[in-house]
Amino acid sequence: MTAASHRPIIGLIGFGAFGRLMARHLRAHCDLLAHDSATELAAEEGVTFTDLATAAACRIVVLAVPVDRFETVIAALRPHLRRGAVVVDVGSVKLVPARAMLAGLPPDVEIVGTHPLFGPQSARDGIAGLKLALCPIRGRAAFRIGAFLRHALRLRVVLTTPEAHDRDMAVAQGLTHLIAAVLVRMEPLPSRMTTRSFDLLMQAVGMVRHDPPGVFDAIERANPYAAGVRAQFLELTAEMGRALEHPV
């Protein structure tokens, strides 16, 4: 806590699109110390940019980095974590980050996995009522964080485990991004003579089409259940194609 304001201080590691989204909604409730490996970062209201050691020494540390950088980032921040700190991740997959944090973080650090089930596009009109998956991994901090997310940010918190999360997201997120990627490659698509269902489908495509490539890779490659779901979907698609070509 700061001596002057008694506001909590959160260390934010990573300040990409989602780091900025978090900052916009958290700065009314806490002070933010952010660190990012980018050489130049645009000023952000309510955020103080700092070095890794300072951000990692906060009572709560949020990791908003790509899953393929997780082990490297954990190794870098480990020496600077205080005893009893709470480390939170916000990635699209949960098993891989959970295992990396359990293996790489000191045993006296609490660990919470989260996945906001929205992004900058779907949150442009606000986040109240949107869903967030919450995974208690080590310690009791997840329940305090869940209460804050419900009452202060008015999010719908879904308590789950990393395994259950990844199983569901392999379908709910994996197929959404796969279908969107295919439709983008089929462009140009009709825009004037369309149905309501097609318009809704294109709205879904619009929500994910500008995601960084690392997001798609994490969803499709880092989720251990995504390959099986993808294979089943593609096989059923091929089966339907064969049935249409050779009706009984």
How many residues are recorded in the chain? 248
Are the beta carbons of 141 and 116 closer than 8 angstroms? no
| Gap between the Cα atoms of 182 and 200, Å rounded | 16
For the segment 26-52, the average pLDDT, to the nearest whole number, is 88
pLDDT of residue 40: 66
| Gap between the Cα atoms of 146 and 128, Å rounded | 14
Range from 28-37, 38-47, 95-104, 119-128 carrying the lowest mean pLDDT:
38-47
Are the beta carbons of 14 and 64 closer than 8 angstroms? yes
> Which DSSP letter does residue 81 get?
P
For the segment 85-92, the average pLDDT, to the nearest whole number, is 97
For the segment 127-135, the average pLDDT, to the nearest whole number, is 98
Are the beta carbons of 91 and 73 closer than 8 angstroms? no
| Gap between the Cα atoms of 88 and 12, Å rounded | 10
Q: How confident is the model at residue 44 (pLDDT cuts 50, 70, 90)?
A: confident
Domains contained in the chain, CATH given: 9-160 (3.40.50.720), 168-243 (no CATH)
Number of other residues whose CB lies within 10 A of the CB of residue 210: 11
For the segment 213-237, the average pLDDT, to the nearest whole number, is 95
3-state secondary structure of 243: helix
| Gap between the Cα atoms of 205 and 211, Å rounded | 11
Q: How confident is the model at residue 39 (pLDDT cuts 50, 70, 90)?
A: low
Q: Which residues contact 148 (CB under 8 A, 6 or more apart)?
A: 29
ω before 116 within 30° of 0 (cis)?
Answer: no
**Region at 170 (left for phi over 0; alpha for psi -120 to 50; beta for the rest):** alpha
Inform me whether the pLDDT recorded for 1 exceeds 50.
Answer: no
